[in-house]
Amino acid sequence: MTSDAPGDRLTPRPVGYLAMLAALPICGLGLMWALSSMVRHRGIGPVPLLLAVAVAAAAVYCARMLRRGVHATYAYVYIVDGRVRPVHFHQVQAFTVRPDSGAPTLWIDLTDGSTLPTPVTEDPEAALGKVRVTPTEMTTLTTELNRRRLLPHHS
């Protein structure tokens, strides 16, 4: 189990993981500097306030980027792409690999006919925040997800 999202992480870390991880302490220092500036000057000026808001937003963005991927429990698959989207396995019709922007990408086909994209791609030049996998890793991932989908689930 991982502590950064529900269930087991089934995918590698996203592209840019180390950069985002390194940015978090920098954001923390920037936020502390902005807040201490407000305390030192006994007032909230527009520059320190804007800096504090910008640095806090950057920290939230970095934290969300670190969790991206596909996670699963015995009953749910979680698509983590900036937000956590739980999908019960009984809602899943299939896990498919289809092109998205020219590269094979993992999609979740639901029983109601809708589809959900995931951040998982085989694109060797995947953008920041995408989860890059090899074709072998994609096959292993879809096999594991299908294995979990076929298990008996509790509501």
pLDDT at 117 over 70: yes
3: pLDDT strictly greater than 60: no
DSSP string for residues in 24-76:
HHHHHHHHHHHHHHHHHTTS--HHHHHHHHHHHHHHHHHHHHHT-EEEE-SSE
**What pTM, to 2 d.p., does this model score?**
0.76
- 122 Cα distance to chain centroid: 16
Question: Is the predicted pLDDT of residue 146 greater than 70, yes or no?
Answer: yes
Please list, in sequence order, all residues whose beta carbon lies within 8 angstroms of the beta carbon of residue 12, skipping any fewer than 6 positions away.
Answer: 69, 131, 132, 133, 137
pLDDT digits (tens, 9 = 90+) for 64-113: 888 889 999 888 999 998 888 999 999 999 999 999 888 999 999 999 99
Q: Identity (one letter) of the amino acid at 97? A: V
3-class SS at 114?
A: coil
Average of pLDDT values for 23-43?
82
CA atoms of 140 and 11, how far apart (whole Å): 10
pLDDT score of 155 = 55
Count of beta carbons in the 10 Å neighbourhood of residue 120 = 28
pLDDT bracket for residue 5 (50, 70, 90): low
Q: How far is CA 137 from CA 22, 56, 63, 73, 91, in A?
A: 26, 35, 25, 19, 24
Which pLDDT belongs to residue 43?
A: 72
User: So what's the pLDDT on residue 2?
Assistant: 38
Residue type, position 25, single letter: P
Domains of the chain: 13-66 (no CATH), 69-149 (2.30.29.30)
